[in-house]
Amino acid sequence: MLKICQEKNLSSGDRPDIKNLTPEELSAWLKDNGVDAYRTRQIFKWIYIRNADRFEDMTDLGKDLRARLAATFSIPRLAVQKVETAGDGTSKFLFRLSDGAHIESVLIPERDHDTLCISSQVGCAMGCAFCRTARGGFIRNLTAGEILSQVRDISRLAPDRRLTNVVFMGMGEPLANYENVVNALKMMTENDCGMKFSSRKVTVSTAGWVPKMMDLGKDTRVSLAVSLNATQNETRDLLMPVNHRYPLETLLEACLQYPLPPTRRITFEYVLLAGINDTPEDARRLSKLLAPLRAKVNLIPFNAFEGAAFHRPEEARILNFQNILMKKNLTAIIRSGKGRDISAACGQLAANAMMRRAECRSKCHPSP
């Protein structure tokens, strides 16, 4: 059962969000204040395991330390602007940030667990033609604390759900916000005082931001997904402007060199667009491109949104595409259309909220 409530953004004045600190940074602050570094583990356990809202509740810390923490830091929640829940149990959360910007997270029920899809940026600069988020452009990066808050807050809002998987497939390009994303990933997968997610169940999806792909493999053990969506540069240029900078040859070479943990595969996401990239020839080219790689394919039939220039292929065409890949010994899964009876396109709720905000400003402060 979802515990939905309207919450204020508990930014508490100028006090910084303690969730933006790495363990090393918090340990350094404690040392500067004459406190043993082992207290770092206790503090973060309260925040990430016990989901505490106040330093005053951290009863295994001394009163003086609790008071100093409360005077210096805050533990803010994201403000819940709106929640939409589909008939299949998919829940889409619209969060308002402290500066008034909006982001989305989606909690998706699977057969024996739940997956949370989170955002890494407000908006996105990648400009993918089939993406709703791209239409609003890029506004700013999320902090590590804002990224972690999506997981932490939804865990509290939906305590009965079995959340085991987290995917960075919401708003934004995660590798373009590298430092904050990696700091958040480390706390998600930290087993001692973090969120204790298995690294294989946390997935970072990239549109092909090649310079940071190798760093991700060296700095973390999380899973990698690559949004491919085309088998020829001409088509991918039209769909994904990042391809002008890092064309298919460069991207696939980076995937080949990626330091993949044993038994893992790279997931290649392929949004199927009717008449654009869904032909049998595309399927055969895709199987050939991925043959040298340890790969699996997520086929994603296009989720339409208002004003979109693309359409979902017919079911027979989708199944034929999958069948061609499977005959070439590729694992190819058709992603089920969860949440299609709510604002399904990524960025839809946030875009609507930002539009309403702009309209309100225009009415309140009309141009001369």
Query: Do residue 157 and residue 23 come from a single domain?
Result: no
As a whole number of angstroms, the distance between CA 164 and CA 135 comes to 31
Q: What is the pLDDT of residue 268?
A: 98
CATH of the domain at 54: 1.10.150.530
pLDDT of residue 343: 59
Domain boundary among the residues 72, 91, 107 is at 72
Q: What local confidence, expressed as pLDDT, does residue 349 receive? A: 57
Active site residue 104: yes
Does residue 367 belong to any structural domain of this protein? no
Is 131 known to be catalytic?
no
In a domain, 189, yes or no: yes
Do 44 and 129 lie in a common domain?
no
Residues 52 and 110 in one domain: no
Which one from 131, 193, 255, 346 is the annotated catalytic residue? 346
Q: Domain boundary residue among 72, 90, 112?
A: 72
For residue 7, being part of any structural domain is answered with no
Cα 270 from Cα 277, distance rounded (Å): 9
Residues 52 and 149 occupy one common structural domain? no
Q: State the pLDDT at residue 356.
A: 47
Whether 63 and 123 map to the same domain: the answer is no
Q: Are residues 55 and 111 in the same domain?
A: no
Do 342 and 260 share a structural domain?
Answer: yes
Which is catalytic among the residues 104, 146, 173, 269?
Answer: 104
32 and 129 share a domain?
Answer: no
Count structural domains, the chain. Answer: 2
**CATH number of the domain residue 279 falls in:** 3.20.20.70
The per-residue pLDDT for 342 is 63
Handedness of CA 358, 361, 366, 368 (dihedral sign): negative
Which of these three, 72, 101, 136, is where a domain ends? Answer: 72
94: containing domain: 79-356
| 10 lies in some domain | no
366 lies in a domain?
A: no
Residues 175 and 298 in one domain: yes
Are residues 63 and 109 located together in one domain of the fold? no
pLDDT of residue 159: 85
Task: Note whether residue 268 is domain-resident.
Answer: yes
Assigned domain for 2 exists: no
Q: Are 259 and 128 contained in the same domain?
A: yes
What's the pLDDT at 362? Answer: 39
pTM: 0.90
Q: Which parts of the chain register pLDDT below 50?
A: 1-11, 354-368
State whether 254 and 114 are in the same domain: yes
Residue 40 in domain? yes
